[in-house]
Amino acid sequence: MKKVLLRIFFYSFASLFFAAVFAYTVVSTMGILIKGKEIKTPDFINLSLKEAKHKAYEKDIRLKELPLNSTVAKPEFVISQYPLPGSLIKESGNRIIKIFYTPKKSEVIMPDLSGLNISDSKKILTENNLKWYYSYIYSDTAPIDYVISQTYIAGKKIKKGSRVAVLISKGQRTNSFIMPEVIGQNANSVFSFLEEEGIKITKVSYTVYEGLEPGIIINQSPRQGYKINNRSIINIEVSE
């Protein structure tokens, strides 16, 4: 009986052992296949674009070429890369390395003007040998005198001396009209009218006015005939 139990125990242990070895082998193999063998990233810095492409072809590596303005580097030479030289990358699979190079002398990379004011945008365009043309539009979101959009997409290669059209914010549109004569009128009615026109009363003061019922306008600023809008300062004096 003991021999039978020992034999059953032995076979059970052996089965579990081989199952564990098999599972470990499968997991390890899958890990190797997924991860792949790693190699060091080649150095493309200071190579011409032609040399970099040739080197990448020999190493079975794909390059993503990104232009970058520089006043010191040679035109169409690599000035930087990612991942950096010597970094570990997979030997097989989609291996893509970004290389940054300087454009031709006749070209420049369109800078990003978004979020800049007129002064800063003109400075950047001048530094990049670009001309400009400014137009204006009302905007509920962009501050006054700040760039809303530009004709060329940031990062695009364009010829030096190109004219760049820039759209500038004029701020929110103002509702304007001529200030009416409101003295002697009911204050609540006047306030409602101005609010409907988008005009806010800046200051309301109350004064005892003998012989006049409360709530009547007795003074106004600005006077009748002045042009006002939703930014104007409106002062009203009302009888108490």
Do residues 42 and 87 share a domain? yes
Do residues 139 and 194 share a domain? no
139 is in which domain, residue-wise?
A: 108-169
Q: Is residue 157 part of a domain?
A: yes
Last residue of a domain, one of 151, 169, 187: 169
Q: Is residue 154 part of a domain?
A: yes
> What pLDDT is stored for residue 32 in this prediction?
44
Last residue of a domain, one of 169, 186, 213: 169
Do residues 185 and 234 share a domain? yes
Q: Is residue 6 part of a domain?
A: no
Q: How far apart are CA 162 and CA 102, in angstroms?
A: 18
> What pLDDT is stored for residue 121 in this prediction?
96
3-state secondary structure the chain: CHHHHHHHHHHHHHHHHHHHHHHHHHHHHHHHHHHCCEEECCCCCCCEHHHHHHHHHHCCCEEEEEECCCCCCCCCEEEEEECCCCCEEECCCCCEEEEEECCCCCEEECCCCCCCEHHHHHHHHHHCCCEEEEEEECCCCCCCCEEEEECCCCCCEEECCCEEEEEEECCCCCCCEECCCCCCCEHHHHHHHHHHCCCCCCEEEEECCCCCCCCEEEEEECCCCCEECCCCCCEEEEEC
Going residue by residue through the chain (240 aa), what tens digit of pLDDT does each one get? Answer: 555 444 654 445 445 554 554 455 544 545 444 445 788 899 999 999 999 999 999 888 899 998 888 777 888 999 999 999 998 887 655 688 999 998 888 899 999 999 999 999 999 999 999 999 999 998 988 999 999 999 999 999 999 999 999 999 988 877 778 888 999 999 999 998 888 877 888 899 999 988 889 999 999 999 998 888 877 889 999 998
Q: Is residue 28 part of a domain?
A: no
Q: What does DSSP say about strands 131-137 and 235-239: parallel, antiparallel, or unpaired?
A: unpaired
Last residue of a domain, one of 169, 198, 216: 169
Q: Is residue 219 part of a domain?
A: yes
Beta bridge partners of 63: 97
Model confidence, pTM: 0.47
Whichever domain contains 225, its CATH number is 3.30.10.20
Do residues 154 and 189 share a domain? no
